[in-house]
A and B are shown apart, each in its own frame.
Chain A
Amino acid sequence: MTVLLIAEINGANLQADATAKALAAAATLGAVDILVAGEGVGAAASAAASFAGVARVLVADHAVLGRQLAEPMAELIATLAARYTHVIGPATAGLKSILPRVAGRLDVMILSDVTAILDADTFERPIYAGNAIQTVRSADSIKVATIRTAAFAPAPRGGGAPIEPIEVTVSTSAASHWVEDRLSLADRPELSSAGIVVSGGRGVGSKENFALIEQLADKLGAAVGASRAAVDAGYAPNDRQVGQTGKVVAPALYVAVGISGAIQHLAGMKDSRLIVAINKDEDAPIFQIADYGLVGDLFQAVPELVERL
């Protein structure tokens, strides 16, 4: 088995945590080559080469790949794919966009959000917002899969894989072009990799009040998350949404504040090691899965919590 692992690159930077977790999954299948694609990605390639258990790092450095747009990325990956049994990447927004397109080009199915690899052909993946786990076997010659990073521990550092530049011959078509990024400030730990996450819901009531959630997060060194209702109401930016259609997290500690616990929200956090819920409604469904619950008004409880920690 030979695996092509697509590194998650943002701009020119390696997203080390997501890539290392997908690497841990890929390494169970066989020898792993990592593809680092982008513009000016030399440092990212060196970082990828330092993971343990990597056969080679292939570097595709070209302006056409600079924003990792789906069309040139898929074209590049599809041309490399023939030499591999598996093409795998972390289930980031970027690769969830690119890898199904690769599969479409190769006329094979995609395996989305894989949570366990049982053997070379057999995979587990959640369906229905994680309310069922399906085991599927693929008959395709090349398996293309995205890996749910929350389900794997990152591969360790300590390798020194050779770095090989590859020629980039993809078409520079004008079909799509980048206009701008409007990214949130990265002033706190990243949601998908943080050890502690504090999330606020509709109960927080306003964008101003959301500062309470941020204070608690800062006190705990935590990342900030939100329910869809809180994002829709503008209390928090979209990239903070946890759930079926947002990010899936599994931190050591997840604190849900003013969140009722709809199945779509639970889909994104129910595999957290320890769940704490603060809600004024003692019948809120979130208490059915919380290890520790506190029934009370968050406007009293959260400031007191910040004080006592």
Chain B
Amino acid sequence: MKILVPVKRVVDYNVKIRVRPDGSGVELANVKMSMNPFDEIALEEAIRLKEKGAASEVVALSIGAAPAQETLRTALAMGADRAILVETAPGEDVEPLAVAKLIAAVAREEAAGLVLCGKQAIDNDMNATGQMLAAILDWPQATFASEIRIEAGAAQVTREVDGGLQVIGVALPAVISVDLRLNEPRYASLPNIMKAKKKPLAIRPAGEFGLDIAPRLTVVKTVEPPARKGGVKAGSVAELVSKLKDEAGVL
């Protein structure tokens, strides 16, 4: 079984982003970029499934401008067998619906048996691509996975839901989106980073697929949220209690 893992290049999770003062968006110039943390987890799971013999090949896929190759090289260094960049124009906004259509096209071409993606990208926080992809492919879906077991053409997936955990079974091929507690992703070792340079990375222009990937949303403006100021420190528990009771009136 071939596993396809879509990986997105995003602003590193440690970066405190800055909103451009003119409201045109978030400052992305000279900002540290990394693989979306959820996608590292998806990739780690795919590699482990291959190591256990449940998968034959792990293919990493990114939709984005040329610098996303760097993210794909990281994926190859972690252990993906090969990579595909579906290249879009720099600065072009590729929405989850369009991303899902392009992933679907690649999943069909590759005859993937499983797509393992992140539950959300930490930049746009849409939490949507996997579900849209499953709809387009008409495959079953299991979102927010914290445990995955593959056996006999099916996956048993433990999902993080509002009240706790839910276990469902899905027939393969399927789309599974992963949550934070599924695994701890490995670091790429130096020898593997060197080896990754020789692994195949195919670049395909997005236009080649002949799909409607025009954005449906127009960004009117991007602003900073209202700032919250720090308040006062209480010198003791007694003072804290009296402030909560008398000053704030919340107790």
Q: A94-B162, A110-B126, A112-B127 are in contact. Are A137 and B217 (CB under 8 A)?
A: yes
Q: Once the chains bind, are B127 and A96 in contact (CB under 8 Å)?
A: yes
Hey, which chain B residues are within 8 Å of A101, CB to CB?
131-132, 134-135, 141
A92 located at the interface, meaning its Cβ lies under 8 Å from any Cβ of chain B in the complex: yes
Q: CB < 8 Å: which of B161, B174, B181 contacts A93? A: B161
Q: A97-B141, A179-B167 are in contact. Are A232 and B230 (CB under 8 A)?
A: no
A215 located at the interface, meaning its Cβ lies under 8 Å from any Cβ of chain B in the complex: no
Min Cβ gap B174→A in Å is 8
Min Cβ gap A257→B in Å is 12
Hey, which chain A residues are within 8 Å of B13, CB to CB?
264
B244 located at the interface, meaning its Cβ lies under 8 Å from any Cβ of chain A in the complex: yes
Q: CB < 8 Å: which of B133, B170, B179, B230 contacts A290? A: B230
- B17-54 contacts to A, CB under 8 A, are 17, 19, 26
User: How far does the alpha carbon of A309 sit from the alpha carbon of B134 in the complex, in Å?
Assistant: 51
Q: A128-B122, A128-B123, A231-B181 are in contact. Are A238 and B131 (CB under 8 A)?
A: no
User: How far does the alpha carbon of A184 sit from the alpha carbon of B238 in the complex, in Å?
Assistant: 34
Q: Once the chains bind, are B220 and A110 in contact (CB under 8 Å)?
A: no
A110 nearest CB neighbor, chain B only:
B128
Q: A291-B248, A308-B238 are in contact. Are A69 and B162 (CB under 8 A)?
A: no
How many B residues have CB within 8 A of the partner chain?
81
B250 located at the interface, meaning its Cβ lies under 8 Å from any Cβ of chain A in the complex: yes
Give chain B's interface secondary structure class. mixed
Number of A-B residue pairs with CB-CB distance less than 8 Å in the complex they form: 251
Taking each of B128, B179, B228, which has the highest tally of chain A beta carbons within 10 Å of its own beta carbon? B128
Q: Once the chains bind, are B231 and A291 in contact (CB under 8 Å)?
A: yes
Taking each of A96, A111, A128, A308, which has the highest tally of chain B beta carbons within 10 Å of its own beta carbon? A128
Kindly state the interface size class of chain A when it binds its partner: 35 or more
Q: Once the chains bind, are B97 and A127 in contact (CB under 8 Å)?
A: no
User: How far does the alpha carbon of A180 sit from the alpha carbon of B134 in the complex, in Å?
Assistant: 22
Q: Once the chains bind, are A176 and B248 in contact (CB under 8 Å)?
A: no
A237 located at the interface, meaning its Cβ lies under 8 Å from any Cβ of chain B in the complex: yes
Q: Mark B213-251, 1 if CB is under 8 A from A, else 0.
A: 001111111111100111111101110110110001011
Taking each of B133, B135, B142, B156, which has the highest tally of chain A beta carbons within 10 Å of its own beta carbon? B135
Q: A128-B122, A136-B218, A175-B171 are in contact. Are A292 and B223 (CB under 8 A)?
A: no
B185 located at the interface, meaning its Cβ lies under 8 Å from any Cβ of chain A in the complex: no
Q: A104-B135, A184-B164 are in contact. Are A132 and B122 (CB under 8 A)?
A: no
Q: Once the chains bind, are B217 and A183 in contact (CB under 8 Å)?
A: no
Supplied contacts A101-B135, A134-B221, 7 more A-B pairs, CB within 8 Å:
A101-B141, A109-B217, A181-B166, A183-B164, A238-B164, A245-B179, A292-B240
Q: List 7 A-B contacts (CB under 8 A).
A: A93-B161, A135-B219, A178-B168, A179-B156, A180-B166, A292-B244, A305-B240
| 4 residue pairs, one from A and one from B, having the closest CB atoms | A104-B135, A104-B132, A100-B131, A291-B231
